[in-house]
Amino acid sequence: MREVRTPTPLQFGWLLAAVAATVAPHAIELSAWLVILCASLVAVRAALSWRRGEPPHQLVIVLIAIASGVGVKLEFGHFFGKDPGVALLAVLLCLKLLESRTTRDVRAAVLLTFFLQAGLFFDNQTPGIAALALAGTLLATTTLLSLEDDGARPAAQLRTGAVLLAQGLPFMLVLFVLFPRVQGPLWGLPADAYSGMTGLSDSMAPGSISQLGLSDAIAFRAEFDGVPPPPAQRYWRGPVLTRYDGRTWRPGLSVAATAPGYEPSGTGYSYRLTLEPHNQPWLLALDFPAANLPNARYTSDYRLLAEQPVRVRARFDLRSYPATAIGLTETAAALAEARRLPANVNPRTRELAREIAAGAPDHDAILVRTLERLRSIGLTYTLSPPLLGTHAVDEFLFDTRQGFCEHFASAFVFLMRAAGVPARVVTGYQGGEINPVDRSLVVRQSDAHAWAEVWLAGRGWIRVDPTALSAPARIESGLSAALPEWDALPLLRRPGLDWLRDLRHRWEALSNTWNQWVLGYNPDRQRELLERIGFSQPDWRTLAVLLGASATALMLLLFAWAFAQRRRYDPLDAAWARLSRKLARHGAARHPWEGPLEYGQRLSTAFPGQAEALRTITERYARLRYGADHADPHSVRELARSIRRLNLK
Amino acid sequence: MPHRYAIRVLEAANCIILGKERELRLALTCLIARGHLLIEDVPGVGKTTLAHVIARLVGLHFQRIQFTSDLLPADIIGVSIFDREAGSFRFHPGPIFSQLILADEINRATPKTQSALLEAMEERQVTADSETHALPEPFFVIATQNPSHQIGTFPLPESQLDRFLLRIRLGYPDRNAERALLMGEDRRELLERQQPVIQPEDLLALQQAAHSITVSARLVDYVQALLASTRHNPELSAGLSPRAGLGLIAAARAWALTDGRDHVLPEDVQTVFPHVAAHRLHFAGDGRSVTPEALGQLIRDVTVV
């Protein structure tokens, strides 16, 4: 058992660093008591190795292990699943570190760190986490290396570790590209995994969108082929809300079909939409998408739906025509629904509507008059409007006169309906910001918006954005330009923090690239890539052959490289190294500082049977290496041969 | 073959000084490498005898100078005395005008006197009354020094120590050698009867032969690595100088010659290294002279390529 060795302080230092680097990123998801426990275990171990103390008694470690097991059970209620698993693994790793005495323990601890590094990706797959996992892997690899080569300087050990990882990189890439992809996350997620996803809901009550306005999380990104549409045309369609109960707007009946119910016309914009998961089926396409997406459905209220709620980041190649006329022929039932209002709410608004409608020749005129009237009321656009009571629209229009887009849209649609014009609320996102780094359009939750559609005979559904009446800047330049006071805004939306915005832009461009190329590499993209290199419809056998062939080719390349490195050695050096390797098997390797004659002397004492041969070899080497005459190839070959033939039996 | 001369000297010397083969060979190496030798040890272990033996075996003209605290530079170099008959000053050469000088207990003299000797060693000439007098050839100084913690000593400064190529310690003889010494003939009488085994010209031939011993590029790599390791060692206050490097190679050449080889091996360097470096390196913390253990570690830290 040559494993019963005590690790040197340096080896322990590497292990400490590897464990700390592995457990620290887990601190985000672990609860406080676990973080404190792990940190103190690591600290105790560090103090022990600093003072060269002995690890605590086995019993203490067992007690801590049982106690933390009970703690995990109390916190999670069970031991199954990733969260309790990661928590237990983290504590056990720290305990293993604490009790480590021999190099064998160090190896076991390193193995555990590799597991925990994989566990980092359960909750988070950002480039930052990948970098942390890489750093942890490098430290763990260096720990293993230091066990084998404890004479080298720390920097040299770290460099060797990095070289080893770099050599593994091509294999990792081959496996990444060619290994059959699994749709969705690899690990089974519990049912509540999607509860944290933010985004628009399918109903709208006062305050529901202004809540989103506070979040600068990204909702989706769009990369346009060519020039993106002007800001005023960037309406990304979400739920269309027809039913109103006096407080909350809900979607009406809509029918889904495989093709859109309109004829796309006008200028088209092609773009690639990368949607963050929001656990809803709608795709937030720019008004109005053409029928170029397979498996998508087009609803009668002009939304684009996916088959399944979007639960992982997804990409869609879309083409939209903002100028398309929609709903030229609308059923009477649909129009009737778009005029329905609950009784007994907002009497003052109804009165106003009657006043506007009186004497108006047609719906167009009512629309124009309503807009004029709203403008004259003098409404203020704000993220934090006062709370409203039962007659929400009345209070907004006549009392508080402050509201966010949902108040404007709701009041406008109520007014139109009260005046007898079919109208409805549309929610979604408006605007977006071009990231100057990669030219993609980034739409955040704070771009969430509500607007209105009015149906006019002969023109169909017309988009009307009542928010634009009071805050035209909201539509043209985004939220921060429209709000007078900016302190309630998300940090990134505040003016005057240009450097921060620039940094954020860069980071988001990097994340986007990462999302597109690493996380977004799904079975479809794998198929696309393989088709592009000439393998259409590959089955698992083709993939296996490809995988094997690439790995073999890589191995050969690495081998050739290593061989070329070897060939740069002098043949005399190679022969001399061979002698030492050969004798190492008999426990008589040359010490690095040992000169040839000294080595020869040691060997001839150790192997009396071969004393003469060994002395001849070492003396000949000494003469060839250090002598006056240039070592001629013939003698070097001769020496190499005698070393090869040396038999130490 | 010049190296026969060396063998002859060593064989004869070993008959007189018992059990000190390695030290005798180092002393001869120093002589062949045209360096000066510093012997540091307690009194009575045979420092003077060693100097005598070498002088006699090589047939060199020998002078012993006992250094004391009242010794003056003129006592070593010589004085100019007015010659009434010639009507001018005449230089009376001091004891330094000999081929082999034994400077006994050099650290008992004042720094002024010490530096007079050490300057002569370096220049191999003496200047008195603006007249330069060349010292004889070969010129070899063996200085002995008591361990510096003894009372009444002026320790040699580092720059002066650098003039000595090698420093050796004799140490007590082992049991058998001491027994032979105690029972045998008086060493001094033995020495009186001893005839030179080589001539001073043979020594010059040896010195020339040593100079033409091959030092391969690989060996220079090794020596440089060794020097670099003393310079990058945080435990040491300063590394070895280029002069020490030159001395290291010269001593290794001479050692290889006494071994009968025409090229220098790393082992030669390793053998002479502790003696070249011991009086030149000091620990960073307390300025103590470097220990043999530390020197051994320095050698083990450098890979032989």
- State percent of chain A over pLDDT 90: 15
Contact of B304 with chain A, judged by CB distance below 8 Å, is answered with yes
Minimal-distance CA residue of chain B relative to A621: B265
Domain ranges of chain A: 9-178, 210-493, 525-533+542-568, 570-645
Average pLDDT of chain A is 83
Query: Is the confidence at residue B68, as pLDDT, over 50?
Result: yes
Instruction: Give mean pLDDT, residues A133-153.
Output: 86
Range list of H helices, A149-265: 154-178, 208-212
Contact of A593 with chain B, judged by CB distance below 8 Å, is answered with yes
CA distance A235 to A64: 58
Higher per-residue confidence, B127 vs A224: A224
How distant, in Å, are the alpha carbons of A91, A213, A429, A439 from that of A231? 52, 18, 11, 15
| Range with lowest mean pLDDT among A5-14, A81-90, A520-529, B246-255 | A520-529
CA distance A409 to A394: 13
Contact of A596 with chain B, judged by CB distance below 8 Å, is answered with yes
Contact of B297 with chain A, judged by CB distance below 8 Å, is answered with no
Q: To 5 degrees, how large is the angle CA A480–CA A484–CA A486?
A: 55
How distant, in Å, are the alpha carbons of A7, B2, B289, B298 from that of A594? 26, 29, 26, 13
Residues sharing a CB contact under 8 Å with residue B150, sequence separation 6 or more, in sequence order: none
pLDDT band at A53 (very low <50, low <70, confident <90, very high): confident
Take residue A331 and report the two structure tokens written for it: 């059923």
User: For chain B, what percentages of helix, strand and coil (3-state, to nearest 5) are there?
Assistant: 50, 15, 35
Minimal-distance CA residue of chain A relative to B297: A593
Q: Helices A127-148 and A9-23 meet at what angle, rounded to 10?
A: 160
CA distance B29 to B207: 10
CA distance A562 to A314: 42
Contact of B146 with chain A, judged by CB distance below 8 Å, is answered with no
Chain A residues in contact with B302 by the CB 8 A cut-off are 593
Rounded to a whole number of angstroms, the distance from the CA of B301 to the nearest CA of chain A is 7
Range list of H helices, A149-229: 154-178, 208-212
Q: What is the pLDDT of residue A471?
A: 78
Instruction: Give mean pLDDT, residues B36-56.
Output: 86
CA distance B3 to B207: 10
| Among the partner residues B218, B262, B301, nearest to A625 by beta-carbon distance | B218
Domains of chain B with CATH codes: 1-209 (3.40.50.300), 213-305 (1.10.8.80)
Catalytic residue at A449?
yes
pLDDT band at B305 (very low <50, low <70, confident <90, very high): confident
B262–A595 C-beta distance less than 8 A: no
CA distance B190 to B35: 28
Instruction: Give mean pLDDT, residues A148-171.
Output: 85
Take residue A480 and report the two structure tokens written for it: 């921060």
| Among the partner residues B218, B265, B299, nearest to A593 by beta-carbon distance | B299
Residues sharing a CB contact under 8 Å with residue A145, sequence separation 6 or more, in sequence order: A157, A160, A161, A164
Query: Is the confidence at residue A595, as pLDDT, over 70?
Result: yes
CA distance A477 to A164: 51
Rounded to a whole number of angstroms, the distance from the CA of A620 to the nearest CA of chain B is 12
Take residue B150 and report the two structure tokens written for it: 């003894």
- Peptide bond preceding A80: is omega within 30 degrees of 0, i.e. cis? no
Contact of B192 with chain A, judged by CB distance below 8 Å, is answered with no
| Range with lowest mean pLDDT among A393-397, A561-565, B33-37, B297-301 | A561-565
Higher per-residue confidence, A50 vs B152: A50
Query: Is the confidence at residue B220, as pLDDT, over 90?
Result: yes
The DSSP element (H or E) to which B92 belongs, if any, is strand B88-93
pLDDT band at A3 (very low <50, low <70, confident <90, very high): very low
- Number of C-beta neighbours around residue A190 at 10 A: 10
Residue whose entry in the numeric block shows the structure tokens 């005449």: B90
Q: What is the pLDDT of residue B274?
A: 93
- Number of C-beta neighbours around residue A531 at 10 A: 12
Question: Phi, psi at residue A250, to the nearest 5°?
Answer: -130, 160
Contact of A625 with chain B, judged by CB distance below 8 Å, is answered with yes
Chain A residues in contact with B270 by the CB 8 A cut-off are 593, 595, 598
Rg, chain A, Cα only:
36
Chain B residues in contact with A626 by the CB 8 A cut-off are 214, 216, 218-219, 263-266
Query: Is the confidence at residue A382, as pLDDT, over 70?
Result: yes
Residues sharing a CB contact under 8 Å with residue B34, sequence separation 6 or more, in sequence order: B138, B207, B250
A536-545 contact pairs (CB < 8 A, 24+): A540/A180, A543/A178, A543/A179, A543/A180
User: Exactly one of A405, A407, A447, A505 is catalytic; which is it?
Assistant: A405
Instruction: Give mean pLDDT, residues A429-453.
Output: 86
Q: What is the pLDDT of residue B32?
A: 92
Contact indicator for A535, A602 with CB cutoff of 8 Å: no
Instruction: Give mean pLDDT, residues A159-180.
Output: 88
Which 213-272 residues of chain B touch chain A by CB within 8 A? 214, 216, 218-219, 262-267, 270
CA distance A606 to A610: 9
A596–B300 C-beta distance less than 8 A: no
Query: Is the confidence at residue B287, as pLDDT, over 90?
Result: no
Give me the amino acid identity at A622: A
Rounded to a whole number of angstroms, the distance from the CA of B70 to the nearest CA of chain A is 48
Q: What is the pLDDT of residue A488?
A: 54
Q: To 5 degrees, how large is the angle CA A489–CA A495–CA A498?
A: 120
Q: What is the pLDDT of residues B177-217, one digit of tens each?
A: 888 888 877 777 788 888 888 888 888 899 999 999 999 98
- Of the candidates A357, A361, A368, A350, the one whose C-alpha atom is nearest the C-alpha of residue A464 is A368
Q: In what order do the strands lie in the sheet with B62-66?
A: B62-66, B100-104, B140-145, B37-40, B166-168
Chain A residues in contact with B267 by the CB 8 A cut-off are 595-598
How distant, in Å, are the alpha carbons of A11, A47, A139, A144, A418 from that of A110? 12, 20, 9, 7, 72
Catalytic residue at A38?
no
Residues sharing a CB contact under 8 Å with residue A413, sequence separation 6 or more, in sequence order: A244, A423, A424, A425, A452
Contact of A592 with chain B, judged by CB distance below 8 Å, is answered with yes
Instruction: Give mean pLDDT, residues B133-157.
Output: 81
Which of B222, B271, B299, B304 has the most A C-beta neighbours within 10 Å, making it the best mutation to test the interface with A? B304
Contact indicator for B60, B140 with CB cutoff of 8 Å: yes
What is the DSSP code string of A501-513? Answer: HHHHHHHHHHHHH
Q: What is the pLDDT of residue B148?
A: 61
Q: To 5 degrees, how large is the angle CA A253–CA A254–CA A255?
A: 130
Minimal-distance CA residue of chain A relative to B267: A595
Query: Is the confidence at residue A477, as pLDDT, over 80?
Result: no
Given CA atoms A380, A385, A391, A393 in this order, what sign does their dihedral have?
positive
State whether residue A251 is helix, strand or coil.
Answer: strand
| Range with lowest mean pLDDT among A189-203, A335-349, A374-388 | A189-203
Q: What is the pLDDT of residue B247?
A: 94
Rounded to a whole number of angstroms, the distance from the CA of A595 to the nearest CA of chain B is 5
Instruction: Give mean pLDDT, residues B268-295.
Output: 87
State whether residue B64 is helix, strand or coil.
Answer: strand
Higher per-residue confidence, A624 vs B42: A624
Rg, chain B, Cα only:
20
Catalytic residue at A405?
yes
A394 burial via Cβ count (<10 Å: 0-12, 13-18, 19+): buried
DSSP state of A181: P
Contact of A598 with chain B, judged by CB distance below 8 Å, is answered with yes
Take residue B88 and report the two structure tokens written for it: 């001018």
